[in-house]
Structure 1
Amino acid sequence: MTVRDCGTVDRMVTLFSRQYGKITAVAFGARRPKSSFAGCLQPFSHVDLLLARNRGGECIRQCEIIHGHRKLREELPRMVYATLVAEIVTELWPENEADSDVFELLVDVLFTLEERNPRVAAIAAAWQLLALAGFAPEYRRCVACGSVISLPAHFNIGAGGVMCPACGGSQTNFTEGQANLLAKFLTLDFRSPGRFTVNAAVLAELEKLLGQCLFYHLEKELKTWAFIQRFEQPGKG
């Protein structure tokens, strides 16, 4: 859930639901001191809502907190990476298009962002979201001819993945280390991620590639992306 002020006392909430996908709704009077919404309509919260439709669209009638994820709002690095994940979902998915896989991923990722290295969790989540949106990268076979790739090789974002020397030229910007970490991220179970060590240099390379892929598919830079570099800290997943 992301929240912004609207009018003098209202709040505009963008949320992702299991049944209806991304929804934008107004919480009338939510900024009043005695509003019942004051404590529950917080960014990154998992909530149970009762919505109603009026002439202007959806409005929130009732709200009950399932899990507040307070830690994501209190620690700046975690807040930044949680915002990145939320922004990716907001940009990649249209309004009112249900996707239960995305919903379940978000529920699990929020817990991981609270408890583990938020940079690693957010990058892994971003790659999985790209895959769920239909932009899964090919990193073991040439996207042009289908031959098995010997890494390092050229990664062509526009083509959707790696290319052999015959199809993509001699440039090599995608390594075996990146392929292995990408495979780990794409298959990571956020409900039970386990403990694993991440090479800082490989993580930085894969994060750079992620940023390029997001820019290509969204045709713009995410607002959060410029802030991410300030908080990057290598560590364990």
Structure 2
Amino acid sequence: MPAIDRIRKVTAIVIAHAEYGEADRFVRIFTLENGKLNTLAKGVRKIQSRKAAHLEPFTHSALVLARGQSFWIITQAETLNAFTGIHDDLKKTTDAAYVLELVDKIAGENHPEPGLYRLLLDTLKRIEAASDTFNALHYFEFRFLDTAGFRPELTNCVACKKPIQPEDQYFSVLQGGILCPQCGQMEARSIFAAKDTLRYLRHFQRSAYPEVETINVPENTRMEMQKIMNVYIAAVMEGQLKTPGFQRQIEGVRGRRKYNDIK
């Protein structure tokens, strides 16, 4: 095997890891150069290991990989961005885990996807920097859906194809978009979408990040947006995701704290 095929230098974001044997770890990474890779970090759980800190989830690292019999072996690792602001905040940790879970579901192994890689890296930076991660997460969700080929239709009714008017509507998970009031009432599982909710959904779908970064979405609109996006993304990913449940628990705790502070 030529040397060029036995050694790879990659920049990677760590998606997850799992213990293997007494001292090793399997590490799943998403690389700029080769897409998703399943790798093995030998001896990384030993106290004296210098690689462990570079291979934590969310970490952006420069890695050297050597071809093993079954897996790429991580021989060198250097942190480019540890995202400590994410690790030190439970809410940001669950939000980042949600983003990684989605990317993990669609990223192909040994298939470079530089656009998705840059979106993931940019989103982690935005989550770390934000005092409120709502806008960063929903901007990511729309770009993610575009990449995965599930862009929701928000301009015309997905049933009758008529242009949507500025009034309360419904969202069809089954048909992947907005239903007008007449068609929405005929689909039992459609989700109510207030006029303002649709307006914000469209804004997040159409706009560049600087245009949504600082907008203040009202609380009731946030709740409707989250419901629609969570149900739709779970449907197109063909199964309930793990992380949204943790996100709701953290939001619930924060909400109770705010209420107690007011009393």
Deviation at 1:19, TM superposition (A): 2.0
In structure 2, C-alpha distance between the alignment counterparts of 1:110 and 1:139, rounded to whole Å: 27
User: Pairwise CA RMSD of aligned residues?
Assistant: 2.3
Question: Paired residue for 1:158?
Answer: 174
- 1:139 pairs with 2:158: no
CA distance in 1, matches of 2:138, 2:213: 16
Structure 2 unaligned residues grouped into runs of 5+: 1-13, 256-263
Question: In the alignment, is residue 201 of structure 1 matched against residue 220 of structure 2?
Answer: yes
| Counterpart AA for 1:210 | M
User: Identical aligned pairs, as a percentage?
Assistant: 28
SS at match of 2:54: coil
Establish whether residue 75 from structure 1 lines up as the match of residue 89 from structure 2: yes
Alignment TM-score, normalising by the size of structure 1 = 0.89
Which whole-Å CA distance do the structure 1 matches of 2:217 and 2:79 have between them? Answer: 34
Are the equivalent residues in 2 in contact too, given 1:130–1:136 (CA < 8 A)?
yes
| Partner residue in 2 for 1:4 | 18
- Find 2:238's aligned residue among 219, 223, 226: 219
Check whether the contact 1:109–1:190 (CA below 8 A) recurs between aligned residues. Answer: no
- Contact 2:135–2:213 (CA<8 Å) still a contact in 1? no
1:123 corresponds, among 132, 138, 153, to 138
Taking CA–CA contacts closer than 8 Å with sequence separation of 6 or more, which of the two structures ends up with the larger relative contact order? 1
- Residue matched to 1:91: 105
Count of residue pairs the alignment pairs up: 235
CA distance in structure 2 between the aligned counterparts of 1:139 and 1:38, rounded to whole angstroms: 45
CA spacing shift, 1:193–1:12, aligned 2, 3 Å? farther
- Asked whether the 8 Å contact 1:112–1:190 carries over to 2, the reply is no
Instruction: Name the CA shift for 1:30/1:184 in 2 (closer, same or farther; >3 Å).
Output: farther
Question: Deviation at 1:18?
Answer: 1.5
Pairing partner for 1:179 from 198, 205, 226:
198
Q: Contact 2:26–2:39 (CA<8 Å) still a contact in 1?
A: yes
Structure 1 position 122, deviation (Å): 2.1
Give the alignment's TM-score, normalised by structure 2.
0.81
C-alpha spacing 1:82/1:145, structure 2 compared with 1 (3 Å): same
SS at match of 1:22: strand
Q: 1:63 to 1:208 in 2, by over 3 A?
A: same
